[in-house]
Structure 1
């Protein structure tokens, strides 16, 4: 018989509901057990974040050195530009809308501030210092990754690949399975502090706004693609709907590649370009994920009473576009890869990170669907550029 499994989204929703429900009557000594677990898991996560950055980003950047030369650069720049546009589009929209949505819920700041929200103390804590700080991990990853993409040697490349496999196992077998329990503890603690209702009401509003924004983003992407290629943008978008629907169900860019490729060919993109661009963009184009992370980060900071500055978020979005390259292929990879810069650039603590994970996972399907559908728009643009440039790429 086929083994029944609950999806990560289902586990997170169950954890949130259980935290809210049990927080009403759970005995204090038992609640402190979960507070203790949260402290241990949070410390372990802080230890693991630099390792996750190095293990995922180095091989991801190194692999970008393989490909079709100039066409690879063109595709990467368009994908990065789309991802960055998504971040700034979300930021300025959120700056205009979120304050009104969150108005009246600023009292939830105490629930998001870990120092105020922790009404219960853990039985004990174990310090787990990170091997190096976040910025060191990022700089080291960029330097080694770019160096590997430029040289012919395979020794360090194979070591980076093995490290990626180890880190992927760490995420898949340890961190992801324990995340629902961690989120349960966070919402249990919030319920005890009496602030969970206002936070959940804001979360629902933010999810609705992000859903509308990602539809608008797709319309913008395909309008630009249609303008460049001189094709009907609505017809281009309509042809990509099967890929959108598949991504909603699978929650995986990689698993959706065959459908995305087939629908891209229906949009008139040459086979050589489609078979090159679609798998590549499944790795480097994450406009939907960037939108979710930017919006969620803004909402949590506003609820916590943290200042939201354009300059700070500009640097964060530019760095996020690069960091997202490491995300595909790993369950929860996008948010896990982003935790480092959320901490180092925006000052997110353990509780804010847990809320970020919960809110992100609640919209995981929509972000993936936005990512893969937008890949079709990029393929249309690259195909047009390739045709006008005398066919830079004859073979994938």
Structure 2
């Protein structure tokens, strides 16, 4: 009999359903219900420890792989990717603060808090990360650029090999422990939400949030293709049609990295030269988070509104600007966007290790596929723009 292999999204949905059911079993003593809550808490601590290492493992090698003399291309692509991410985050904030209050009111906010306090884990193990996320990002960029420069001098193989093998170790950890453990993490979180009585109120809000988020992602991706098409004098509707296989692949794999081969073929159909597409597509798979930042910004804004916390523009603008940098390693694993953003949740008054932090992780993971699909789709719009700029300005000047 052939064994049925379930995808990650299916496993997460099953974990949510089972968690809701388990948390409603009133006849069970609290310490039994606390077991999955404890497992989820421990898993969260390990995730926090691994995130900075994940950033170093993926970003150093990604930058070090850049070819010699690619400084201008790196700068241009990075600026476009960050600008795209920043604009998407700002638009998501304005959409959220204007639309979400239509279905998030004071009475619903009280229902979301729950009838009783959430369960605490039976025990916890303090696992402090070796580096914070900001330090890991700065370290990765400095070493990646320097190793790329050394390779141009015919040196640096030892350092490059070290970080390449380090990235393989991180990938092994992600594939063998983190990704398989995500359903158990989700299960524990939903057990707690179900126990407090807040889960149904939360779900009644967030299906509407996600409908708006996915619609906004599609609109923004289409808009960026229109901008790229107008600048490069290419048909944006043809490019959007070409992107469909990449979008569907990203939904299925939930990984920007796994979608790179398909995205390269899309870029080829869009007329992007081999030199540019082989440079921009893998790089943007790491640094361009259009879809992810829309999701994180929207979910954070929704949670702040639910719990009657401030959502003023000055606070959120700083948070979104930092997210554009902090989420660089997000495509390394499913849910990487929210994991990378967690250390900066204190900027908006959310405790990343508390109930709200776990709630955000849980909600983000359930729709991560669509954010990833928007990320990689936007990569091809950037590739079209970079290709035009390179041949129209950079190459001509160098000749």
Normalized against structure 1, the TM-score is what? 0.86
Name the count of aligned residue pairs. Answer: 390
Asked if the contact 2:315/2:347 (under 8 Å) is kept, the reply is no
**Offset of residue 108 of structure 1:** 4.9
Taking the aligned partners of 1:286 and 1:352, their CA distance within structure 2 comes to 23
Secondary structure of 1:123's aligned partner = coil
Taking the aligned partners of 1:283 and 1:232, their CA distance within structure 2 comes to 27
Asked if the contact 1:134/1:341 (under 8 Å) is kept, the reply is no
Secondary structure of 1:5's aligned partner = coil
Q: Which residue of 1 aligns with 2:390?
A: 386
Provide, for residues 25-63 of structure 1, a one-character-per-residue CA deviation record: whole Å limited to 9, x for no partner. 250232122233234333434444444444444444544
Q: List alignment gaps of at least 5 residues for structure 1.
A: none
Asked if the contact 1:68/1:393 (under 8 Å) is kept, the reply is no
1:362 maps to which of 356, 363, 366: 366
Q: Which residue of 1 aligns with 2:239?
A: 236
Secondary structure of 1:389's aligned partner = helix
Q: Which residue of 1 aligns with 2:210?
A: 207
**Offset of residue 132 of structure 1:** 4.8
Q: Which residue of 1 aligns with 2:70?
A: 68
1:189 maps to which of 176, 187, 192: 192
Q: Which residue of 1 aligns with 2:21?
A: 21
Q: List alignment gaps of at least 5 residues for structure 2.
A: none
Q: Which residue of 2 aligns with 1:180?
A: 183
Taking the aligned partners of 1:126 and 1:164, their CA distance within structure 2 comes to 26
2:272 maps to which of 262, 269, 272: 269
Asked if the contact 2:47/2:339 (under 8 Å) is kept, the reply is no
RMSD (Å), alpha carbons: 3.0
Q: Are residues 31 and 139 of structure 1, via their aligned partners in 2, closer, same or farther at CA, if it must alter by over 3 Å?
A: same
Taking the aligned partners of 1:65 and 1:342, their CA distance within structure 2 comes to 36
2:85 maps to which of 80, 83, 86: 83
Asked if the contact 1:264/1:376 (under 8 Å) is kept, the reply is yes
1:376 maps to which of 380, 388, 394: 380
Q: Are residues 331 and 192 of structure 1, via their aligned partners in 2, closer, same or farther at CA, if it must alter by over 3 Å?
A: closer
Taking the aligned partners of 1:331 and 1:301, their CA distance within structure 2 comes to 24
Secondary structure of 2:331's aligned partner = coil
**Offset of residue 136 of structure 1:** 4.5
Q: Which residue of 2 aligns with 1:353?
A: 357
**Offset of residue 64 of structure 1:** 5.2
1:164 maps to which of 167, 172, 178: 167
Taking the aligned partners of 1:34 and 1:126, their CA distance within structure 2 comes to 15
